[in-house]
Structure 1
Amino acid sequence: MKLPFSKKEKQIKSKKEKKVKVRTIGKRKKSVLFLWILLISSLAFGIYKNFTAIDQHTIHEREIIETKIMDTNAIESFTRNFVKDYYTWENETEALEERTKKLTNYLTEELQALNVDMVRDDIPTSSTVQGINIWSLTEEKENTFSVIYSVQQKITEEKDSTLTSSTYRIVLYQDDQENLVITQNPTLWNQPEKSSFTPEQVESNGTVESETVEEVTVFLEAFFTSYPTATEQELAYYVKNNALPTIEKDYIFSELINPVFQEQDNQIKAWVTVKYLNETTKATQLSQYELILEKDSNWMIVE
């Protein structure tokens, strides 16, 4: 039979049954709250940047140079025809009137009026064009071109004749239909002269042995002897890669003049002047070649 608990026993049992408190770090703790705020802020900032960021790419700029091919045939032909008519005259009224009429095909109305007194009715000379040289053709601006040319004239006065040569510059306009008109009168100019440039002289540098020099010399003498009259099939025995064209002319080989040889990358580079006699003109022809040779079973010109 169980006896009722005494008051003291009840207190002891109550203490035993009382749960032990467990200390936890809750969401309200300041440090944890700070971490949550930091995490949320970082996430929000990342989303914001994702929507607002501007993509950055490395831009590689490439300059494209377009080559403009200009057909100058029309301008050159127009200029030659003008020069012939402009610098040709006779000291006769009818011929001078015909010249004035021809010039209307080239000059603006203003220039036609300007040139009325160029050749007077009482001019004592006659002129014929002997030759025309066009030195340059330049596009000054869109549809406007300048041409520099020389004209050789035979001037006759009574029974005396003299040759004269002068250089001029004119300006032409070409419209969308490619029609041409001269907008600036022939103006005295200067023509190109001989340049003072002297190319560097090539010399043998001792890289080719004397035995090889003799072999190559014999080969070139044999080749250039047959070269002028050689057909394409015959040329194939001496030349690769169409390094030299067929000539098929009546030239007689005379000699090689001062050939120079250098060894480059197991090949022989040769600079040679070839002396020929032209059977037709009976004049001497001196042809200069810069060749590259190599040896397989025999010597060949490869470039």
Structure 2
Amino acid sequence: MKLPFRKKEKQVNPKKEKKRKVKTIGKRKKSVVFLWILLLSSLAFGIYKNFTAIDQHTVHEREIVESHIVDTTAIESFTRNFVKDYYTWENESEALEERTEKLTDYLTEELQSLNTEMVREDIPTSSSVQNINIWSVTEETENTFSVVYSVQQKITEDKDSSLTNATYRIVLYQDEQGNLVITQNPTLWNSPNKSDFTPEHAESDDTLESETTEEVTEFLETFFASYPTATEKELTYYVKSHALPVIEKDYTFSELIHPVFQEQDNQIKVWVTVKYLDESTKATQLSQYEFLLEKDPNWMIVK
């Protein structure tokens, strides 16, 4: 029996799927490698610094200014002598020549030449120094000092005379041997004036018992009545640790003026003006005191 003929169907093989390429990003790029190296290097450096770090402390610099004391006695004496010779003259040629010769002991050669015309030969006046006040001696630079002074002159012309006052500043140089020379001519300057400062006035403590106030007042009157003539031994009954000096003056006690008392711990602070009559001059002497009183067992001035 013959089987029916079947045409063979062509077998179709399924198409193979193409493999998708997986693109790896940055795995082999040089920049990524560099970043990894940088990261690892930073980490390693940080670990190294952590183990080798040195403690750092904030350093506070303190400037220490060393003060030094300058003895100005020679400068003041030199200045006084100069002022006396510089501001003294007579209207006579011989006296003027003598003055010029004296100034060579104080001035540099340049200043001697500069001052030649200060006092002319035909000057109609004469001058004498009445008073000299030295206000300040200031160290300008090493070995150089400025001096501010005032001078009072009596100026005479014919039969008339008058007083004049002026303030000047000069500059001096002092060498290692202590010798002095004036390097800047007397220049008009200003003198110190009265200050407008007013100190605060203390007021009595209202809480202080009246009995204590009376005791302290009585003690002060007794003490100041004997104080002017008291010896050192007698003062020990009223004063501790030489809080007040021995004066031994012929004063007669008159009264206490406006005493002020303030309680401080176990002590009394006292401000008082004491009125005396000076038996020598017959003038009134007003002495002002500020001290501490303490009761042990009697009242004593302790400071």
TM-score (norm 2): 0.81
One-letter code aligned to 1:99:
R
One-letter code aligned to 1:270:
V
One-letter code aligned to 2:235:
L
Stretches of structure 1 lacking an aligned partner (at least 5 in a row): 1-41
Deviations 1:42-98 (A, max 9, x none): 9xx99x998x76575665544433221110001000000000000000111111000
Deviations 1:237-267 (A, max 9, x none): 0001111111011111111001000101111
- 1:81 corresponds in structure 2 to 81
Work out the CA distance in 2 between the residues paired with 1:284 and 1:170.
41
What secondary structure, in the 3-state scheme, does the structure 1 residue paired with 2:74 have?
A: helix
- 2:125 corresponds in structure 1 to 125
- 1:260 corresponds in structure 2 to 260
Give the Å deviation of 1:116: 0.3
What secondary structure, in the 3-state scheme, does the structure 1 residue paired with 2:117 have?
A: coil
Work out the CA distance in 2 between the residues paired with 1:58 and 1:162.
69
- 2:149 corresponds in structure 1 to 149
- 2:222 corresponds in structure 1 to 222
Work out the CA distance in 2 between the residues paired with 1:263 and 1:71.
43
Question: Equivalences for 1:239-254 in 2 at 5 Å?
Answer: 239-254=239-254
Give the Å deviation of 1:117: 0.7
Question: Equivalences for 1:25-40 in 2 at 5 Å?
Answer: none
Work out the CA distance in 1 between the residues paired with 2:157 and 2:272.
51
What secondary structure, in the 3-state scheme, does the structure 1 residue paired with 2:116 have?
A: coil
Identity of aligned residues (%): 78
Aligned pairs, number: 258
Give the Å deviation of 1:135: 0.7
Q: Does 1:95 align with 2:83?
A: no
- 1:293 corresponds in structure 2 to 293
Give the Å deviation of 1:220: 0.5
Question: Equivalences for 1:33-72 in 2 at 5 Å?
Answer: 59=59, 61-72=61-72
One-letter code aligned to 1:206:
D
Work out the CA distance in 2 between the residues paired with 1:84 and 1:137.
18
CA RMSD of aligned residues (A): 1.7
What secondary structure, in the 3-state scheme, does the structure 2 residue paired with 1:115 have?
A: helix
Work out the CA distance in 1 between the residues paired with 2:59 and 2:102.
59
What secondary structure, in the 3-state scheme, does the structure 2 residue paired with 1:116 have?
A: helix
Question: Equivalences for 1:142-291 in 2 at 5 Å?
Answer: 142-291=142-291
Stretches of structure 2 lacking an aligned partner (at least 5 in a row): 1-43
What secondary structure, in the 3-state scheme, does the structure 1 residue paired with 2:282 have?
A: coil
